[in-house]
Every structure is written in C-alpha cells, then in structure tokens.
C-alpha cells in the first residue's frame, strides 16, 4: 500500500482507532487528516485509512491510521484490522459512561489481536461538553496509569489535543522501534 505514495520515508507505522460507535473516532481522524492527508476507503473490508507524514528528529515517518468505518456497531471488527498495528487510539466519550465501561473490552481485544507491545493512547473525547460529563478526567487518567497507557482528553469539535494524541503515539512508536533495533 505504502509504495503507491510518492515521498520516501524512513519508517511506516500502522495504527488503529478503536472504541464504541459514536465516540468521535472518524471526526478525530479527519481532524488530524486536514488537507495533508489522503483519505482512502476500502469498502470491501469496511475500513478507512489515512496517511500522514511526520518528522521526528531527522526521520520521516509515514503513519497509516485505520478507522473502523462503523464496523464496530456490528461487532464485525476482525483480526486483520489489528494486524501489523504498532499503535492504537482507544476512544471513549466523556458524556457516555457506557463507552468508558467498554474500554476494558476494547483493550482486551487490542491485546489479544495486536499484542502486548502496542502503544495505546486512551482518549476521552468530547471534552467540550463538560456540562454533560459522565466520566471524570481523573478516572480515565487513573485507569490509563494502571494499564500503562498514555491518556488525554480531546475535542474533535474544538480541535483540542487532537494533534497531540497522534503525535504522542507516533513518537512513542518510533522510539520503541529504535530501541528494539539497537538491542
Ligand atoms: P465514530 O462512530 O466513533 O466514528 O464517531 P463520529 O466521529 O462519527 O462522531 C459521532 C458523533 O459525535 C457525531 O455527531 C459528531 O459530530 C460528534 N462528535 C465527535 N467528536 C465530537 C466532539 O469532540 N465534541 C462534540 N460535541 N461532538 C463530537
């Protein structure tokens, strides 16, 4: 897939977006995509993905980020969605408690299909809707700490922390890969 793109890169990473339907995954991705992204869709497997090139130090990283395109609604995510992924953005909606309660289930699935070494960022989205909040920030943060995940609250609507989430994940993946290559 990557070789259809013109620019040479030093690393290519795959990352996935996961979480309940309606938490804001597609909006987070399109926010991050802006105009620099190329948004492709693969309707046959019900997945969309976008690429973005990012510089970390003097290295050019091509991040390929997959979105479920609504398949999670039908419990139709298959192991191929996770295959080869080095990172994941696991999203819940701070105004929908059930989406937070399902984070455990998504994390189990991520670890089962993606492996233990995946870099996972837990994201509480829709933080612009603080008046309807059903999950406290400290709760999400505390859970992320116990599971060894990164954590951020975001608003895709207001474009808060969206860039930071993806950049943090990609930078971490890069450093982990470099360490492994040096070992
Ligand atoms: P997905 O099913 O997880 O991909 O969720 P979508 O990206 O389709 O978003 C579901 C709904 O939540 C849509 O109506 C979005 O407009 C809304 N939404 C997504 N992100 C935000 C956000 O940060 N704040 C608010 N207020 N609404 C959001």
pTM value is 0.90
pLDDT under 50 in the chain at which residues?
1-4, 35-39, 41-45
| Confidence at residue 86, expressed as pLDDT on a 0 to 100 scale | 95
| Confidence at residue 77, expressed as pLDDT on a 0 to 100 scale | 78
| Confidence at residue 52, expressed as pLDDT on a 0 to 100 scale | 86
State the closest ligand 1 atom to the C-alpha of 73, by its place in the atom list counted from 1.
2
| Confidence at residue 34, expressed as pLDDT on a 0 to 100 scale | 66
ipTM: 0.99
State the closest ligand 1 atom to the C-alpha of 156, by its place in the atom list counted from 1.
23
69 Cα to the center of ligand 1, angstroms: 13
- Check pocket membership of 160 for ligand 1, CB cut-off 6 A: no
114 Cα to the center of ligand 1, angstroms: 25
11-19: strand order across its sheet: 38-42, 47-56, 59-67, 11-19, 85-93, 119-125, 150-153
- Check pocket membership of 68 for ligand 1, CB cut-off 6 A: no
DSSP H helices, the chain, are: 25-33, 79-82, 97-101, 103-114, 137-147, 162-182
């Amino acid at each position: 897939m990557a070789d259809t793109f013109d620019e040479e890169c030093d690393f290519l990473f795959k990352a996935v977006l996961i979480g309940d339907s309606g938490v804001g995954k597609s909006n987070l991705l399109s926010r991050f995509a802006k105009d620099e992204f190329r948004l492709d869709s693969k309707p046959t497997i019900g997945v969309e993905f976008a690429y973005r090139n990012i510089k970390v130090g003097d290295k050019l990283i091509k991040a390929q980020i997959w979105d479920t395109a609504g398949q999670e609604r039908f419990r139709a995510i298959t192991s191929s969605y996770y295959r080869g992924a080095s990172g994941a953005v696991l999203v819940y909606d701070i105004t929908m408690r059930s989406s937070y309660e399902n984070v455990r289930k998504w994390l189990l699935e991520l670890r089962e299909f993606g492996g233990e070494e995946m870099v996972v960022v837990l994201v509480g989205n829709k933080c612009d809707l603080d008046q309807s909040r059903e999950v406290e920030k400290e709760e999400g943060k505390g859970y992320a700490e116990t599971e060894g995940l990164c954590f951020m609250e975001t608003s895709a609507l207001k474009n808060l922390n969206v860039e930071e989430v993806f950049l943090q994940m990609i930078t971490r993946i890069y450093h982990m890969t470099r360490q492994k290559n040096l070992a």
